[in-house]
Amino acid sequence: MNTYFYYAELNAQNVCTGIKSVTGELNFPSHVLISDYDISYLNKKYENGEWSKEQFLPDAGAIQLSRMDQLEKSQADQDELLMQLMLTNGGN
């Protein structure tokens, strides 16, 4: 029978962005061992060995801008690939 370890995954601001269940121990600064698979840790900050009571919800505007940036880059990559294909095939 496997033993499971539960970790809260932290972002650069030490805010929990996910919960993991793994069969082996992790030793990463961005992962904090927790007692069970508990989603109440999500969006809470971990500082000095303590969890905040308040939640730090992501900025919806920043998320939307990030997605737009990704879409624009993807479109630019596709345009470049299409141009390379056209040049390689002589436009035919």
Distance of CA 87 to the CA centre of its chain: 38
Q: What is the pTM of this model?
A: 0.62
Are 14 and 51 in a shared domain? Answer: yes
C-beta separation of 16 from 24 below 8 A: no
Say if residue 18 is in the same domain as residue 45: yes
Do both 16 and 28 map to the same domain? Answer: yes
Q: Are 9 and 46 within one domain? A: yes
Instruction: Give the residue numbers spanning the domain of 46.
Output: 5-55
- DSSP 8-state class, residue 40: G
What's the pLDDT band for 84 if we cut at 50, 70, 90? confident
**What is d(CA 25, CA 27) in angstroms, rounded to the nearest whole number?**
7
Band (85; pLDDT cuts 50, 70, 90)? confident
Q: Residue 64 — very low, low, confident or very high, per pLDDT cuts 50/70/90?
A: low
Query: What DSSP designation does 86 have?
Result: H
If one counts the domains in the chain, the total is: 2
Interatomic CA distance for residues 23 and 3, integer angstroms: 6
Same domain, 71 and 34: no
Asked if residue 66 and residue 48 are part of one domain, the reply reads no
pLDDT of 47 reads 95
6-58 confidence digits (pLDDT tens): 999 999 999 999 999 999 999 999 999 999 999 999 999 999 999 999 998 87
